[in-house]
Amino acid sequence: MGQERGNNDDRLLSVNKMLRYDVYKEELLDPFLGVRVMVMDAYFYKGLRDRLYETFQSGAARILYEMGLGYGLIMGRIIDEQGKGRIDLYREFLQRGKYHGMAHFQVPTLEAIISELRGEIVVRARNSFFAETVGQTGHAECNIFAGYIAGAARVVLHKDYDCVEEKCVSKKDDYCEFRLKQRK
């Protein structure tokens, strides 16, 4: 953050491929999924998050996780319907996360997971919106992503997964890392 990389015109990419504005409906649209989009800025999330922690203390992390899980279940269903074996489909979802400003997700074992040579499933996220927005707290802050990954994996892989964020930028790690664990 804060690095100078030329002037702003060079480094600001247009994300029009990922977002469209429907001038008739006056709505922002995600053309990939065909759903309406609302942009959440850093203050918006920080306001939500801080108030949630003030009100529910340690329960807030669980609430955020369950909220993310609900989103993951919907995304898992969409992946399932569109053909879950297609690696390009997963890549499009990862790209979508990046260009929607969530994080730059990487799944090092993606090919193995899709060809059902499962092994351990780890998801890495660089530049997480949630961690970068909240800053250093000493705790994992990307509970929404952890829930999202668990929810999507439950639907797509048909197993009862939980997801733990083992590394987080908010705990001074270089990136965030999520591990899926099958429920016993």
- Interacting residue ranges for Zn ion, rule: CB under 5 A: 128, 131, 142, 168, 176
Minimum gap (Å) between residue 48 Cβ and Zn ion: 16
Q: How far is the CB of 170 from Zn ion (least distance, A)?
A: 6
Q: Toward Zn ion, which CB reaches closer, 114 or 176?
A: 176
User: What whole-number distance in Å separates Cα of residue 23 and Cα of residue 65?
Assistant: 35
Q: Output b/e per residue, 102-113; b: 16+ Cβ within 10 A.
A: bbebebeeeeeb
Q: What's the closest the beta carbon of residue 102 comes to Zn ion, in angstroms?
A: 11
Edge to edge, what strands does the sheet with 104-106 contain? 104-106, 122-126, 176-182, 161-167
Smaller CB distance to Zn ion: residue 118 or 179?
Answer: 179
Reading phi first (left if > 0) and then psi (alpha if -120 to 50, else beta), residue 150 is in alpha
Nearer to Zn ion, 77 or 104 (CB): 104
Cβ 164 vs Cβ 179: under 8 Å: yes
Nearest CB to Zn ion, comparing residues 121 and 176: 176
Residue 85 CB, nearest distance to Zn ion (Å)?
29
